[in-house]
């Protein structure tokens, strides 16, 4: 086996992986030889076609499993239908921007469910199998907003701080068992989720698109460059490698220096 197929024989479930960072992570894991389960809440022909094209491109098994990460039972059944997994990447996430006093209650509940509680449910379902095999990786896609705050994003920031705390707790509960749990904290990555925030940010700040990208979104990212999905995926592959066997209960920032300020 060549070193670039270092994850041959491992299985990975990536939640929310039919676009953006989740898909980028799935591609990097497939390149490293892991068998993949893609997920989202839709069940379209194109979702299954995406799985088939990834399998053909990388010579690994790729399945698409529809499950709604806002529902605890769906989160747990995703892992059961997948037959367990060696690498669990909790990535599904949504965003909504409003001041606290105007924040719709249903949006708060939905963001907490998808961005935080889903990681609790999938981890609870996946950990017994990882313990049986004596090897596992739980990798949570948190955010720079898991370490620091911005106005108008109360639910997202509360959920992402929660993900960082959940990651530390799982790390302590699995320490010494061949299982690690960590949170990756990206700054801004230009994906559909970020693209969708631009009109809201333009409205809140009364700015045009270019100005809001430069002076608001990337203001706190000193590199003034978006991170890429390949960089997030590469970090997931690193965390799944033997080099990271003792890396657990921590956060890895990929934020162009944001959290150094
Ligand atoms: P995206 O909108 O491109 O992808 C989100 C994914 O989650 C999609 O595949 C979507 O189908 C899926 N999803 C949404 N609701 C779901 C549900 N109920 N059940 C199952 N799947 C669901 O967004 P992205 O930018 O790729 O974000 C992915 C993760 O990365 C999120 O957790 C986000 O908070 C985090 N993140 C993103 C950035 C960024 O700048 N893009 C920065 C930091 C953290």
> Residue 231 belongs to a domain with what CATH number?
3.40.50.720
Same domain, 135 and 208: no
Q: Which atom of ligand 1 is nearest to the CA of 42?
A: 11
Same domain, 23 and 152: yes
Which residue of 40, 42, 93 sits with most ligand 1 atoms within 8 Å of its CB, as the best mutation to test the pocket?
Answer: 93
pLDDT band, residue 3 (cuts 50/70/90):
low
Same domain, 199 and 131: no
Separation of alpha carbons 56 and 45, rounded Å = 16
Split into its structural domains, the chain has a count of 2
Buried b (16+ CB within 10 A) or exposed e, 21-45: bbbbbbbbbbbbbbbbbbbbbeeee
Same domain, 17 and 92: yes
Is pLDDT at 1 greater than 50 in this prediction? no
Listed residue (142, 196, 137) closest to 170, CA to CA: 137
Q: Which domain holds residue 66?
A: 3-189+227-260
pLDDT band, residue 192 (cuts 50/70/90):
confident
Same domain, 112 and 205: no
Distance 2 CA to ligand 1 centre (A): 32
Is pLDDT at 193 greater than 80 in this prediction? no
Listed residue (64, 89, 78) closest to 232, CA to CA: 89
Distance 93 CA to ligand 1 centre (A): 4
Distances 216 to 23, 102, 163, 202, 225 between C-alpha atoms, Å: 26, 21, 25, 9, 13
Express each pLDDT in 92-109 by its tens digit.
Answer: 999 999 999 999 999 999
Same domain, 205 and 255: no
Angle, helices 118-133 vs 154-174, to 10°: value is 20
Annotated catalytic residues are: 156
Residues flanking ligand 1, CB < 6 Å? 15-22, 39-41, 68-70, 91-94, 114-115, 141, 143, 186, 188-189, 191-194
Model pTM score = 0.95
pLDDT of residue 2: 47
Is pLDDT at 119 greater than 60 in this prediction? yes
Distance 90 CA to ligand 1 centre (A): 10
Q: Whose CA is nearest to atom 44 of ligand 1?
A: 143
Separation of alpha carbons 254 and 214, rounded Å = 18
Express each pLDDT in 197-238 by its tens digit.
Answer: 899 999 999 999 999 998 988 998 999 889 999 999 999 999
Same domain, 199 and 99: no
CB 80, CB 73: distance < 8 Å: no
Any idea what DSSP says for residue 189?
A: B
pLDDT band, residue 131 (cuts 50/70/90):
very high
Mean pLDDT of the chain: 96
Which residue of 106, 114, 191, 201 sits with most ligand 1 atoms within 8 Å of its CB, as the best mutation to test the pocket?
Answer: 191
Same domain, 15 and 97: yes
Same domain, 137 and 23: yes
Is pLDDT at 69 greater than 60 in this prediction? yes
């Amino acid at each position: 086996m060549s070193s670039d197929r270092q994850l041959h024989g491992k299985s990975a479930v990536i939640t929310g992986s039919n676009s953006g960072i989740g898909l980028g992570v799935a591609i990097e894991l497939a390149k490293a030889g892991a068998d993949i389960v893609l997920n989202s809440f839709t069940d379209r022909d194109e979702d299954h076609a995406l799985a088939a094209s990834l399998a053909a491109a990388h010579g690994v098994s790729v399945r698409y499993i529809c499950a709604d990460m806002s529902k605890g039972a769906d989160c747990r059944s995703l892992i059961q239908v997948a037959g367990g997994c060696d690498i669990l990447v909790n990535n599904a996430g949504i965003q909504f921007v409003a001041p606290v006093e105007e924040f719709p209650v249903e949006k708060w509940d939905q963001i907490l469910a998808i961005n935080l509680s889903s990681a609790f449910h999938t981890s609870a379902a996946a950990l017994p199998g990882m313990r049986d095999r004596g090897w596992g990786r739980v990798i949570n896609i948190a955010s720079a907003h898991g370490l620091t705050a911005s106005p108008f994003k109360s639910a997202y920031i509360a959920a992402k701080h929660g993900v960082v705390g959940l990651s530390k707790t799982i790390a302590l509960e699995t320490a010494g068992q061949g299982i690690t749990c960590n949170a990756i904290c990206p700054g801004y990555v230009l994906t559909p989720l970020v693209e969708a925030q631009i009109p809201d940010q333009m409205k809140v700040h009364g700015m045009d698109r270019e100005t809001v990208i430069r002076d608001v979104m990337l203001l706190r990212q000193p590199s003034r460059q978006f991170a890429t999905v390949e960089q997030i995926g590469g970090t997931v592959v690193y965390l799944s490698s033997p080099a990271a066997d003792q890396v657990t209960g921590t956060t890895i920032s990929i934020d162009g220096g944001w959290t150094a300020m």
